[in-house]
Amino acid sequence: MPAELIHLVRHGEVYNPDGVLYERLPGFRLSDDGRRMARAAAEHIQGLNRPVTALLSSPLQRTLESSEPFTELFGLEPRIEDRVIEPTNVFAGLRMSRALRRPWKWRHLRRPSVPSWGEPYTQVVERMRAALDESWHTTPEGDVVMVSHQAPIWLTHLSVAGLPLPHDPRTRRCALSSVTSFERRGDVWREVSYAEPAPLDDAVDVGAV
């Protein structure tokens, strides 16, 4: 028997006082609120009363820290999964308001459908779907938790739903520490639920790619 469900969990709030796009830059840790958010996500999945038998994480600091409550609650050490990492972005380390004041950067905005500012959406989907497929077939039973990032999770949602990949990043339904769950029937993936277990009223979410 393969896995039962795969839960894509976004990391919690990041300590980012300068409001830059943090992309894959080192040193971007969770804030204190972000740690509480990550705990809420883990407790939400624990509350589903389902067996979680595998824990995977993007290699970035904010996702590894968001994996810690899952280790505590389920006794699983995270396995690094490079394919669920944040996409690349030429504006990494910059605030978008400042980047847009630099005319030599405008060429990166000419083809948002690709997008021209970073890793192509199709490539992100390809690696995410490969990670899901492999985890589904190599986990003999129970659920899989993958701690990832906003863009890869949202693009997986669009792909599974059969929707166009080009989109306005401001419209993504993928809040901090949200849980998007999928199952596979035959060769077809299906999204089964979406949850936002962490309080978001005062959350700061400005660094996502």
Domain ranges in the chain are: 6-195
Tokens 């990032």 locate to 149
How high is the pLDDT of residue 104?
Answer: 63
| 140-168 per-residue burial string, b: 16 or more CB within 10 A, e: under 16 | eeebbbbbbbbbbbbbbbbbbeeeebebe
HSE-CB at 57 with a 13 A cutoff on CA atoms is 20
| Contacts with 164 (C-beta within 8 Å, 6 or more apart), sequence order | 158
Condensed to tens digits (0 to 9), the pLDDT of residues 127-155 reads 999 999 999 999 999 999 999 999 999 99
Cβ(93)–Cβ(21) under 8 Å?
yes
For strands 179-185 and 6-10, give the pairing: antiparallel
More confident residue, 198 or 109: 198
Q: Which amino acid is at 36?
A: R
Condensed to tens digits (0 to 9), the pLDDT of residues 37-85 reads 999 999 999 999 999 999 999 999 999 999 999 999 999 999 999 999 9
Question: Confidence band (pLDDT; 50, 70, 90) for 110?
Answer: confident
Question: Confidence band (pLDDT; 50, 70, 90) for 96?
Answer: confident
Question: Confidence band (pLDDT; 50, 70, 90) for 182?
Answer: very high
Work out the mean pLDDT of the chain and round it to a whole number: 94
For strands 188-195 and 6-10, give the pairing: unpaired
Cβ(112)–Cβ(166) under 8 Å?
yes
62 membership: H or E segment, kind and range: helix 61-74
Topology of the domain comprising 6-195? Rossmann fold (3.40.50)
Question: Confidence band (pLDDT; 50, 70, 90) for 107?
Answer: confident
Mean pLDDT along residues 95-112: 74
Mean pLDDT along residues 93-99: 77
Query: Is the whole-model pTM more than 0.85?
Result: yes
Condensed to tens digits (0 to 9), the pLDDT of residues 153-175 reads 999 999 999 999 999 998 999 99
More confident residue, 142 or 2: 142
